[in-house]
Amino acid sequence: MSLALYDTWSRSVRPFISIRPGQVDLYCCGPTVYDHAHIGNLRTYVFEDLLRRVLVANGYRVRHVVNITDVGHLVSDADAGEDKMEKGSRRTGESAWAIAERFTAAFRSDWKALNLLEPTHWPRATDHIPEQLAFIAALQDKGYTYQTADGVYFDTSKQDDYGHLARLDRAGMRAGTRIAMGEKRNATDFALWKFSPAGAMRQMEWDSPWGRGFPGWHIECSAMASKYLGPWFDIHCGGEDHISVHHSNEIAQCQANHGTRMANFWMHGHFLLDDGAKMSKSSGAFLRLQTLIDRGADPLAYRYLCLTAHYRSELRFTEEALTASGAALDRLRRAYAGWPEGGAVDADFSARFHAEVDQDLNLPRALAVLWELVKSELPMATRRATVDAFDAVLGLRLAGWQVEEPVIPTHIASLAAERRRARAEKDWEQADAVRVRLRDLGWDIEDGEKGQRLFRR
């Protein structure tokens, strides 16, 4: 197999071979549904969708799990502050259960708009409380937990290699970091189960052997991944902000309980930058996909924009970049729509395209191969068939696109007819002059096997 992927655990690109022949198990950390996802969040899901499509192109069946975090994600990674679901409930005036339903539906609407492949499972944290309690009990039996006044915690001092994924300097953290410790024994210890605050009525709480409360954020993914994919699976994905805390803690729990680091490969998408800063909900100002759509953008133009940067590099979002991506996508659609069906995939271009995507999902270089093909002298039917094959990875839904025929004013139609006559008489100078006049009036004209097509610039 020629597929090679970057593994955050080893900090290297290494050959990918699945644990089970012919099958890949893939877990992707899903949204915390207290608010809308922003386009920075969605960039990570586009990367994971591209990964899945490349795996399929390499002949694998993919079992894909994306969780829904609808409880337990506190506003601080240090296990302090309010549950994001409770905070969202206070902000909106709806129940925590209602906002979970509303924002899950909104997230799945964004998912479909970006043409992301449907996961095999969408497990919700609140549907898996028994699994989480069983996981915590197993950790307790193995001596990895202790109890404080506000919850049950994982003792990271029990693991010499805790934080290896993030290359954490634990000694430096103990010596120089100001952390609100409370009753925690170590700065890196984290909550497995949080007790409901005295005198406060939470909307989402459950009984447990340790007291009434709710799960910590990290135990959810460990429990659900183990249930659906087992204790050792192929790939675990998420955003780069998960490396130092969430994913390090997932690994710690699974090493303690199962003796594995959960996944053979850990893969992380990098940030989307807006005005030079990471896009985040905490700032209160973030862009939603629906906002772009309301402004007239095609959601697949945003998907195309994500293809223009490698998933392990930061991508700067600007309106100009989105507009340019939309224009490129429109050119690709129009070229594709003008080509006839019935061709065969070109082997040379196909091999070059897959060589790029198989080298750690190098989509920018794969796009360069695509455009070289579009501009080539290959038969049009061959180009269409080959682009069809590429789109199984790119996910731009080219085959489903329909040309919207514009309402053509009479004087524009007359100029087009004049150009058609000039071409029939091989008066190329006149034909070119008419094309220029049409451009000045805001129209382009395209020649294809089916004749001329007019469209607005």
pTM of the predicted protein model:
0.87
| 199 plus 328 within the same structural domain | no
Domain finish residue from 217, 244, 269: 269
Residue 178's pLDDT is 42
Q: Answer whether residue 399 is part of any domain.
A: no
| 326 plus 435 within the same structural domain | no
Q: Answer whether residue 120 is part of any domain.
A: yes
| 233 plus 366 within the same structural domain | no
| 247 plus 278 within the same structural domain | no
CATH code at position 179: 3.40.50.620
Is the pLDDT assigned to residue 377 strictly greater than 90? yes
Q: Answer whether residue 115 is part of any domain.
A: yes
Residue 179's pLDDT is 47
Q: How confident is the model at residue 177 (pLDDT cuts 50, 70, 90)?
A: very low
Is the pLDDT assigned to residue 1 strictly greater than 60? no
| 26 plus 145 within the same structural domain | yes
Tokens encoding 21: 């022949």
Is the pLDDT assigned to residue 131 strictly greater than 70? yes
Percent with pLDDT over 70 in the chain: 93
Q: How confident is the model at residue 42 (pLDDT cuts 50, 70, 90)?
A: very high
| 236 plus 288 within the same structural domain | no
Q: Mean pLDDT score of the chain, rounded to an integer?
A: 92
Mean pLDDT of 111-117: 98
Q: Answer whether residue 152 is part of any domain.
A: yes
Mean pLDDT of 33-43: 96
How many domains are there within the chain? 3
CATH code at position 312: 1.10.730.10
- The model's pLDDT over 201-248, given as tens digits with 9 standing for 90+, comes to 789 999 999 999 999 999 999 999 999 999 999 999 999 999 999 999
Residue 457's pLDDT is 62
| 124 plus 243 within the same structural domain | yes
| 265 plus 278 within the same structural domain | no
| 46 plus 140 within the same structural domain | yes
Mean pLDDT of 105-110: 97
454 or 3: which leads in pLDDT: 3
- Asked which of 68-72, 116-120, 253-257, 389-393 is least confident by mean pLDDT, the reply is 68-72
Domain finish residue from 224, 249, 269: 269
Percent with pLDDT over 90 in the chain: 78
- Asked which of 129-133, 192-196, 402-406 is least confident by mean pLDDT, the reply is 402-406
| 333 plus 451 within the same structural domain | no
| 184 plus 71 within the same structural domain | yes
Residue 5's pLDDT is 98
| 440 plus 386 within the same structural domain | no
Is the pLDDT assigned to residue 25 strictly greater than 80? yes
Q: How confident is the model at residue 450 (pLDDT cuts 50, 70, 90)?
A: low
Is the pLDDT assigned to residue 308 strictly greater than 50? yes
Q: How confident is the model at residue 141 (pLDDT cuts 50, 70, 90)?
A: very high
**160-169, 283-292, 332-341, 365-374, range with greatest mean pLDDT:** 365-374
- The model's pLDDT over 148-164, given as tens digits with 9 standing for 90+, comes to 999 999 999 999 999 99
Q: Answer whether residue 253 is part of any domain.
A: yes
Q: Answer whether residue 402 is part of any domain.
A: no
Structural domain boundaries enclosing 415: 410-456
- The model's pLDDT over 268-302, given as tens digits with 9 standing for 90+, comes to 999 999 876 777 766 555 799 999 999 999 999 99
